[in-house]
Amino acid sequence: QVTLKESGPVLVKPTETLTLTCTVSGFSLSNARMGVSWIRQPPGKALEWLAHIFSNDEKSYSTSLKSRLTISKDTSKSQVVLTMTNMDPVDTATYYCARAIFGVVKSNWFDPWGQGTLVTVSS
């Protein structure tokens, strides 16, 4: 059974750095046909993709947030870490990690998703 679980602080102050960890089980982070993404959802709003890490350690980031994000992985620990600098109240959201599956060319989807963790940014 494949599972992902997010962990990290529930409350951060403005200007602080957020560090979230996604612990996966049931698949390997070295599997070439899979990767892990971070996705967030502000309360009552749509999903927003943030960052992705591939099995070969290649990374991709949202264009609008690229300067603030860093994604990394520890394959031996089955963990993917996301850091986001200079947090602001508008970054208040539920943060999800999800496994990306690479189907045929030009076909990548997310399954499954973690349960999500709500991060509130407030002083």
Q: Report the nearest approach of other proteins to the CB of residue 106 (Å).
A: 5
Cross-strand partners of 110:
100
Of 61 and 79, the one with the shorter C-beta distance to other proteins is 61
Cα torsion through 4, 101, 93, 11, rounded to 10: 30
Residue 115 touching other proteins (CB under 8 A): yes
In the complex with other proteins, the residue whose CB is nearer, 1 or 123, is 1
Binding string, residues 54-93; x marks residues near other proteins by CB under 8 A: ------x-xxx-----------------------------
Four-CA torsion 19, 9, 77, 33, nearest 10 degrees: -70
